[in-house]
Amino acid sequence: MTWSKPQQTQFLKTKGKYIVDEQDKRVFLGGFNLGNWLLIEPWMLKLNELEGITAGRDIFDLLEKRFGPDKSDQLYKLYLDNFITEEDIQYLAGLGINFIRLPFWYRALFDKRYSNKEMSYLDRAIRWCKKYNLYLLIDFHGAPGGQSNDSGILGEKQQNRLWGDEKYIKELIRMWEKIAEKVKDEPIVAGYDILNEAMGVPDIKTLMELYDRIYKAIRKIDKRHIIYMEDALKGIHRMPRPDSMGWKNVVYSFHYYPGFAAEDDMSRIKQGYQVFLPSLRAAQEYFDVPIHVGEFNSMSMTKGGVEFLRRYMRIFTEYQWPWNIWNYKKIMTDEEDMWGLAGIYTGWKVPDMKVLSFRNMEKLFKSFHTKKLKKNSLYEFMVKNFFSNKKKYTLVRSLYKDGHILIPRNGLLLRKQEHKGIRVNWNRLASSFTSWSSGDSAIWKINIEKDGPYKISLNYGATNNDPGIELLIDNYNYRILNLKETPGDYDGSTNIEIGKVEFQKGPHLLEVKGLSPGEKIMELHSVNVIPIKEKPGMNLLKPSLDHDILLTPLHNIELNRREDLCIEWHNNPPNIGHISDKESFQWEIDSPFEAEYLFSSLFSSPCTNVKMEVYLNEKLTDTIILPDTGEWFKYKEVKGRSVHLRKGLNILKCVMSSPSVEGLGNIRSIQLLKN
């Protein structure tokens, strides 16, 4: 992975979970939003305190009433020429960033009154980014008709009229066609963020239908640029797999403001980055698509301030998720305000725009020039330091030919209980899985390059004299182990060989499960899977026949989606949710032996008459009536008949049905219990 400045002649593209250049070399993107420039949000100018000012356009409608349209337009352009200038882009490039997200109001590019010349401000941004070597993401922030009821982030007062109104939808698509035609040959453009925070959409199906129309319209003109698709603040888990839609070269994007819901509860904020973000990493493994954090911030000192913002930057970088901080610039009076790096305005007083003279309005907008404002020096130092030490946060390379070093940043966590247990410890440069409870797992999906024997070892810290673990490969138990050698503390480090395993070339699932009672079994730093030369009489570990099989969304699930069926990755353990009538899901089970198992399911639903049909290798083996558990997330174990796995590949499929129209319930896991 490289943290590179743009190669002026190379387009970016996606390859699996990563963004790469034309030579397939991974490229990491990190930087800021240029919010409040081409779409004014009054709260970011502290003008929302004025009566009647809720959207950017309100400011200039008021000025038009006072001074007429020509002078109002003159003031608008004066604002644009001062709030962000070439000097700002030069400064940002000097911090070490390589990525700018450019939010825009549709009128700022396409309405002659506001745009000067159609897309002229986009031309300006592209020209600056080329000069200072910054990738540019074009973000449609305020759509015609409005994609929500939040006028503050739409640019003007709108009533969520985009949805269901073909006039506005066609206008939005035409604008994207114009943008694509203009920039299709510009490698400096990192992609198109096709619709910001469309939280007014009535349902995910409607959102996906619009995304598909925009995608197809752009692809007729531009097949090279990446298309970024936001989750509309509904959750990435609600998105479909890109390949199921026929989408290629796309990125899924979400916004992360954990402090809004935390009410200054730092334990909840920590829970967010220790468990929620690793859960999204599991979603990414399922989607096989790059994830982009389009906006994030710690917002204030009471919610972690500069230190937590740096931590988010580090986590996103370790996961190789491109990111843009919201925001580069905001008018602020408090030097500990985290919403902007630049924009501290000492002596600020909210102007009375109803009486301020035209000349004083000019002075006001000129005073928004960055050189006349202060920057948050601690914030600035942190960003510079982060980018100067960016190599710390890149993925660890394997030290062994054809081997794997499995660490938390490329692994998945699976909790036995939703609100208790394993999490990622980011309080060290080399992060670790920590706070295990019995039954918690750390899981890695690995691709073995060639057949042969491999040595598996752990690097861990523990205080327990006898921490117990279980090693599972492809969902089968290979060894239950008590780790006799312990370093005596969690910060210590001990290497222990678990054993040697014969792997076949191809994908495999490796799982380390905690068995010891209580909590804090160990601090797992890494699992090492290293190829070795086979020797006569080598003792290889073999899978156990006496072992239950756990099937969860982490275990290579496939959804057969008709409506809104999805995996709720934000829960941990994750569950299959939003199940509609006749929808189904299935797993591939590659069994090393023939065996008989008892079918069991963890199910929750307040609905009655929910039915599950169980198919094994296309043959119906059982029909189970699932109980009303009283709540959507109150799980109950439901057992069925025996199923007989053959040696080799098996397909286990569950088809759900019910007369309920509000959803059938949630499935946390399927378990095959050894008879």
CATH at 267: 3.20.20.80
One domain for residues 632 and 591: yes
Q: How many helices (DSSP H) and strands (DSSP E) are in the chain? A: 15, 35
Q: What is the structure's pLDDT at 86?
A: 98
- Distance, in Å, from the CA atom of 433 to the CA atom of 422, rounded to the nearest integer, reads 7
74-83, 397-406, 488-497: least confident range = 397-406
Percent of the chain with pLDDT over 90: 80
- Does residue 363 lie in a domain region? yes
pLDDT band at 261 (very low <50, low <70, confident <90, very high): low
Q: What is the mean pLDDT of residues 451-480?
A: 88
One domain for residues 149 and 21: yes
Amino acid identity at 158: Q
The total of other beta-carbon atoms located within 10 Å of residue 532's CB is 13
Q: What is the structure's pLDDT at 398?
A: 42
Specify the pairing of strand 30-33 against strand 99-105. Answer: parallel
Q: What is the dihedral of CA 206, 207, 208, 212, to 10 degrees?
A: 100
Closest Cα partner for 34 from 349, 381, 342?
342
One domain for residues 101 and 219: yes
- Distance, in Å, from the CA atom of 324 to the CA atom of 331, rounded to the nearest integer, reads 19
- Does residue 1 lie in a domain region? no
Considering 358, 393, 428, which residue would you say is the last residue of a domain?
393
- Distance, in Å, from the CA atom of 118 to the CA atom of 67, rounded to the nearest integer, reads 25
Considering 511, 544, 577, which residue would you say is the last residue of a domain?
544
- Does residue 4 lie in a domain region? no
One domain for residues 409 and 372: no
Report the 3 state secondary structure along 95-141.
HCCCEEEEEEEHHHHHCHHHHCCCCHHHHHHHHHHHHHCCEEEEEEE
Beta strands, E only, 322-466: 323-325, 329-332, 342-344, 374-375, 404-406, 412-414, 423-425, 432-434, 441-448, 452-461
One domain for residues 359 and 475: no
Cis preceding-peptide flag for 477 (omega within 30 of 0): no
Percent of the chain with pLDDT over 70: 95
Amino acid identity at 235: G
Angle, helix 166-183 to helix 204-221, in steps of 10 degrees: 40
Q: What is the structure's pLDDT at 429?
A: 78
- Distance, in Å, from the CA atom of 226 to the CA atom of 139, rounded to the nearest integer, reads 12
Q: What is the structure's pLDDT at 467?
A: 72
Q: Are 172 and 184 in contact (CB under 8 A)?
A: no
Which residues pair with residue 99 across a beta bridge? 31, 135
**Which CATH number belongs to the domain containing residue 662 in this structure?**
2.60.120.260
Q: What is the structure's pLDDT at 392?
A: 61
4-8, 106-110, 245-249, 647-651: least confident range = 4-8
Q: For the segment 401-423, what is each residue's pLDDT rounded down to a tens digit?
A: 568 899 998 999 999 988 789 99
Q: For the segment 540-571, what is each residue's pLDDT rounded down to a tens digit?
A: 999 998 889 999 999 989 999 888 899 999 99
Task: Classify each residue of 274-298 as buried b or exposed e, where b means 16 or more C-beta atoms within 10 Å of its C-beta.
Answer: bbbbbbbbbbbbbbebbbbbbbbbb
pLDDT at position 399 over 50: no
One domain for residues 525 and 587: no
One domain for residues 501 and 595: no
- Does residue 398 lie in a domain region? no
Domain that holds residue 630: 550-674
One domain for residues 69 and 144: yes
Q: What is the structure's pLDDT at 397?
A: 45
Q: Are 626 and 660 in contact (CB under 8 A)?
A: no
One domain for residues 498 and 562: no
Q: For the segment 491-534, what is each residue's pLDDT rounded down to a tens digit?
A: 778 888 999 999 999 999 999 999 877 666 788 999 999 999 98
Task: Classify each residue of 82-102 as buried b or exposed e, where b means 16 or more C-beta atoms within 10 Å of its C-beta.
Answer: bbbbeebbebbbebbbbbbbb
How many structural domains comprise the chain?
A: 3
Closest Cα partner for 658 from 615, 600, 608, 602?
608
Q: What is the structure's pLDDT at 268?
A: 83
pLDDT band at 199 (very low <50, low <70, confident <90, very high): very high
DSSP codes of every residue in 509-563: EEEEEE-SSSB---EEEEEEEEE----TT-------SS--EEE-TTTTEEEE-SS
Q: For the segment 301-360, what is each residue's pLDDT rounded down to a tens digit?
A: 888 899 999 999 999 999 999 999 999 999 999 888 999 999 999 999 999 999 999 999
One domain for residues 388 and 408: no
One domain for residues 528 and 566: no
Q: For the segment 566-602, what is each residue's pLDDT rounded down to a tens digit?
A: 999 999 999 999 999 999 999 999 999 999 999 999 9
Q: What is the mean pLDDT of residues 174-187?
A: 98
One domain for residues 409 and 378: no
